[in-house]
Amino acid sequence: MKIQTQPQGNLTVLVPHGPLIAEDAPDFQRTVEEAVHSEAKRVIVDLTDVPYLDSGGIELLLELGDVKVAERLRPTFAALTETCLETLELTNVLPRLEVFDTVENALRSCQK
């Protein structure tokens, strides 16, 4: 899985490309944790290009969404595909995550 990092002032936007599956979870988790530990105050994960999640991907999102690292806020997720959104709704995970319909809305929310 390729993950792009896009600095946006005091925010970092991470853009993973490809399915979020158990096999790629450790690399994805490491990238998110590095971003959280960086000087960025908030991390937004743009899931536009993630076509689906398997159980390992869902577990990782839950873990990332539940953990606050070193007083920094948990990552915000944005722009889920219809398939990912439906998967998170069916597994009752969606209410446990901070999710926005677009990256722009997530950026606005984080800048308040």
The full set of domains in the chain, from first to last, is: 2-95 (3.30.750.24)
pLDDT score, position 73: 65
Check if the beta carbon of residue 61 is closer than 8 Å to that of residue 24: no
Q: How far apart are CA 67 and CA 104, in angstroms?
A: 24
Sheet holding 99-100: strands in order across? 2-8, 11-17, 42-46, 76-78, 99-100
Q: How far apart are CA 43 and CA 76, in angstroms?
A: 6
Q: How far apart are CA 31 and CA 48, in angstroms?
A: 17
Ordered per-residue pLDDT tens for the chain, 112 residues? 899 999 988 889 999 999 999 999 999 999 988 888 777 678 999 999 999 999 999 999 998 887 655 445 678 999 999 999 999 999 999 999 999 999 999 999 887 6
